[in-house]
Amino acid sequence: AYEDARAALGELRGELGALESRAKEARREGERAGKRRDAAALELKKAQHRLTKCGRDGDAAAKHVAAMLRKHPWIAAERAFFGRAGTDYDFAACDTDGAHRRLKALQASGAAGGGSRARQAALGKKINKKVMGMIEKAEAEYQELVHKKHVIEADKSKIHSVIAELDQKKNQALQTTWVKVNRDFGSIFSTLLPGTSAKLEPPEGGTALDGLEVKVAFGSVWKESLTELSGGQRSLLALSLILSLLLFKPAPMYILDEVDAALDLSHTQNIGAMLRTHFSHSQFVVVSLKEGMFNNANVIFTTKFVDGVSAVNRAVLSSGGGGAAQRRGNGGAAAAAAAKGGRKRSKGDENNAGVRA
């Protein structure tokens, strides 16, 4: 039976380790997703700035083209031949610099006669004074920017979708955690302080995402504020909340160092009963000076000074689950408790540590 239990415990610990690894990986993936989201948002802002600038440049170029069309009506008539090979508007074969030089020469010799001026006017209608290819380039850049804008908008939509999905998963995980912790919180507190109830609930008009408030009831009367509780009751309430959070993801072993120091004996006994009831799959090393805590332990270690030498005695309880502790102790499982360093003890002064399997 011990070997079966030990094998089952090993399997549960393995599953717990695997689940913790998956949880860590999920958190790391969430962090990576957040970094990718921030990087994408930054890149989106940069692209929007570039798009805005290119839009302004495109508008300026379009206005310039419109002004040229109004100023030079011949452009609209001859535009179909722009860039066509074998025409006067073959920009690849056209020597614009030479044309400008010839234009200047004609302007300089304009006083030579009316024939030259007429020829100059005729040539002026056919000479491309500014490279019209700039318009095509601006239009191509504009179309490319429009395409990039559509791509960025699609990526933005995907990012928003991923963010919404992550928020939904986060809210679902928070809701699940709240339900379980709230149930365990109320159960633990009612065990520590019989006749009471405790719960975690959202503020009035809010949800769990807005925060949770601790509510305590004695019998059927809910307290308006925690200030109505005594110091010991608040200590038990805090201990219940901490243990309910630990119970959400139990650890194989816990160490409690004199958590009952400020409590009376009845509360101490309730703590021991609560540990046995709610943490049946965990081991506790409890340091205490009160007998009420020892009654729920499987194994008790007592430390004392005898003639200036510290001695540790081990005792296995036969009641309250002591048989299970006896079997575990015989199987080789060990638990130890050491007295606090620096505490002064006279001869025979004892400090006990109870270990619950």
Phi and psi at residue 180, to the nearest 5°: -70, -45
pLDDT, tens only, 169-200: 999 999 999 999 999 999 999 988 889 999 99
- Residues 66 and 49: their CA atoms lie apart, in Å, by 26
pLDDT band for position 291 (50/70/90)?
Answer: confident
Q: How many residues does the chain have?
A: 357
**SS3 label, residue 198:** strand
Tell how far CA 328 is from the center of its chain.
Answer: 41
pLDDT, tens only, 337-346: 333 333 333 3
For residue 321, what pLDDT is reported? 43
The fraction of the chain above a pLDDT of 70, given in percent, is 82
- Residues 7 and 1: their CA atoms lie apart, in Å, by 10
| pLDDT of residue 131 exceeding 70 | no
For residue 217, what pLDDT is reported? 93
Identify the DSSP state of 174.
Answer: H
| pLDDT of residue 140 exceeding 80 | yes
pLDDT, tens only, 226-279: 888 888 888 889 999 999 998 888 888 889 888 888 788 778 888 888 888 888
**Which string of b and e fits 80-89 if b means at least 16 CB within 10 Å?**
eebeeeeeeb
Tokens of 98: 């030479």
CB 215 within 8 A of CB 223: yes
Q: How confident is the prediction for the chain on average, in pLDDT? A: 80
For residue 322, what pLDDT is reported? 38
Nearest-5° Cα angle at 63, 58 to 64: 95
- Residues 249 and 118: their CA atoms lie apart, in Å, by 96
**Which string of b and e fits 151-190 if b means at least 16 CB within 10 Å?**
ebeeeeeebeeeeeeeeeeeeeeeeeebeebbebbbbbbb
For residue 346, what pLDDT is reported? 35
Domains parsed from the chain with CATH numbers:
251-357 (3.40.50.300)
